[in-house]
Amino acid sequence: MLSFFNKTKTLTVVDIHSHLLPALDDGAIDIDNSIELINELYLLGYRKLITTPHINDIFKNSKRDILAKFLFLKEELDRRDIKIDIKIGAEYYIDDYFRRQLDNEKLLSFGDKNYLLFEFSHFTVPRDIEELIYDMTLKGYTPVLAHPERYIYWHNNFHKYTELKEMGVLFQLNLNSLTGYYSKNIKNCAEKLIKKSYINFIGSDTHHLKHIESLKKALHLSIYKKIFKYNTILNDTLFVTNPIRSPKLELSYF
């Protein structure tokens, strides 16, 4: 059994950020592509996947649609006898639509601490962050910011990351940022966040096979090992629990 709290280990068996549901967002294009990506992640050592489809202005996926696709994927995995634990969350884009959802419905969080994965615009500085984080927490969620290294408007204002941490926001690093996949500046920011001990989760953010190929490179980098040296990574704390309700129970809420 893995020692889940050993800072010297260099493997996680849980991925908390991916886009594996078929034909739902900019991730897997069909069910065969979903299975292909899942098999590749399994070969890399993952044994539990929390897949997180986009919910934003472009992909206005309803909770019902997401859960229906999730059940379809689960049934296909069972039919093909693919033994991997897969759960559902979402990657929420922060806009007025999200704020209405937060006010009016139960969101797709994961883990016994109700981790809620969210993202900001990559180009526009977000507003009213303190109020937003307060509202998430008040609703019982633990806010997890997806790929903080990719918000380029904070690269030269690093104190903004510190402010978010002081608000109780957890950070999820994209492993592909370590390879320079997105840009050199994003890679540099990722390394700085690692060395500041600001990272709580790591994720593949898998959309397609190019991400898998980059991920394979990331797992062999020296900076990848330093993630565990400088940070307490929570991914594998989710491996020993089964906190997410059955999608069948969730569907009964509609």
pLDDT digits over 143-176, tens only? Answer: 999 999 999 999 999 999 999 999 999 999 999 9
Question: Is residue 9, in this structure, part of any structural domain at all?
Answer: no
Question: Is residue 4, in this structure, part of any structural domain at all?
Answer: no
- Pick from 92-96, 183-187, 194-198, 243-247: least confident: 243-247
Is a pLDDT exceeding 60 seen at residue 76? Answer: yes
Residue range(s) defining the domain that contains residue 55: 14-251
Question: Is residue 7, in this structure, part of any structural domain at all?
Answer: no
Is a pLDDT exceeding 90 seen at residue 240? Answer: no
For 127, counting Cβ atoms within 10 Å of its Cβ (0-12 exposed, 13-18 middle, 19+ buried), the class is exposed
When divided into structural domains, the chain yields a total of 1
Question: Is residue 167, in this structure, part of any structural domain at all?
Answer: yes
- Cβ proximity of 19 and 28 under 8 Å: yes
- How large is the greatest C-alpha to C-alpha distance in the chain, in angstroms? 50
Is this model's pTM higher than 0.85 or not?
yes
Question: Is residue 8, in this structure, part of any structural domain at all?
Answer: no
pLDDT-derived band at 201, boundaries 50, 70, 90: very high
Question: Is residue 75, in this structure, part of any structural domain at all?
Answer: yes
**Percent of the chain residues topping a pLDDT of 70:** 90
Alpha carbon distance 33, 38 (integer Å): 9
Alpha carbon distance 138, 90 (integer Å): 19
E strand or H helix at 80, and its extent? none
Question: Is residue 85, in this structure, part of any structural domain at all?
Answer: yes
* Per-residue pLDDT at 7: 38
Supply the mean pLDDT for the chain: 91
Alpha carbon distance 55, 126 (integer Å): 17
Amino acid in the structure at residue 214: S
- Pick from 7-11, 18-22, 209-213: least confident: 7-11
Write the CATH number for 224: 3.20.20.140
